[in-house]
Amino acid sequence: MQGRLPGTVQEKQSADFIAIEMERAGCAPFKQQQWLHPFSYINPDTTLIQSAGNVIGKIDTKHTKSIVISAHYDHIGNGKFHSNDPFSKKIHNGADDNASGVAMMLGIAAWCKTKINQLPYDVIFVAFSGEEDGLWGAHALFKSNIIDTSTIIANINLDMVGRLDILAPILEIQTNSTTSCIFLLGKSIQSDKFKTIVAQDKVANGSDHAVFLYYKIPAILVSTGLGSHYHRPSDDAHTINYVGMIAIATALQKFIIEGRLQECQ
């Protein structure tokens, strides 16, 4: 999709594709039969008004509380801005950043549908746009009042989950405070396929979970790290560790269904 730059035709096509896959997974559109929720922002790179949109679906369990599982789907196009290979004019496909997170989110959505009677809360799935330009999609979610945020007990944000190292597999769980409830809970996301490291955010406002934290909602970033392909044209599908993604998703599914996130209310 030509790097899924916000405001492009390809970004809209990507949003449409994600909506179709959310429906296939068993989600319902979150509000008024509408999957796509447009927003606009002033692009800090061009100072122009930029149009984009979030895709929101839901597994409705009839509970009064919910968790949000999120992943941004935008990327940096041909890398004119934000590239770590600034002299290249090649498309930056963003397979890990963050098609991997979107794919895992959709897979977890399909799994949640099969466990609908066992889940202790509703599960809302949000594919954010505008992340690369400054977390604009996450900010738009809160400013729009689409979701009653008082019902959200936690956010699990998936960003770059496709490169679990084969020799030293490490899953990074990050949040803003090492004393918070969700920091302690993050340690329980375990697998015999990888080692889990829970740490304070390496980069302030580095991904969409930071906006949930700003609004006092417990949130974690789940990631396999930046790696050498980060924001480069080489971030392509053949570099993804798909077996590793399955291991991470399996551990997250166990964490989600255990319902321990309710401890952070």
pLDDT, tens digit (0-9, with 9 covering 90-100), for 163-188: 999 999 999 999 999 889 999 999 99
In a domain, 142, yes or no: yes
Given this model, what pLDDT does residue 3 score? 97
Q: Is residue 19 part of a domain?
A: yes
Q: How far apart are CA 104 and CA 108, in angstroms?
A: 6
Of the candidates 105, 129, 100, 101, the residue with the CA atom closest to the CA atom of residue 57: 105
Say whether pLDDT at 32 is over 80. no
What distance in Å separates the CA atoms of residue 70 and residue 149, rounded to the nearest whole number?
Answer: 14
194 within 8 A of 124, measured Cβ to Cβ: no
pLDDT band at 31 (very low <50, low <70, confident <90, very high): confident
Report phi then psi at 108, rounded to 5: -65, -35
Residue 136 lies in a domain: yes
* 36-42 and 49-59 strand pairing: antiparallel
Q: Distance from first CA to last CA of the chain, Å, rounded? A: 39
Alpha-carbon distance of 135 to 27, in angstroms, equals 24
In a domain, 49, yes or no: yes
Read off the pLDDT of residues 135-155 as tens digits, 9 standing for 90 and up: 999 999 999 988 999 999 999
Give me the CATH number covering residue 238. Answer: 3.40.630.10
CA distance 114 to 137: 29
pLDDT score recorded for residue 71? 98
Position 80 pLDDT exceeds 80: yes
d(CA 50, CA 53): 10
Predicted pLDDT at 24: 98
For 137, the domain range is: 9-264
- Distance from C-alpha of 131 to C-alpha of 134, rounded to nearest angstrom: 5
Residue 1 falls inside a structural domain: no
Domain count for the chain, please give it.
1
* Closest to 82 in 3D by CA, of 67, 72, 69, 92: 92
Q: From CA 213, how far away is CA 229, in angstroms rounded?
A: 28
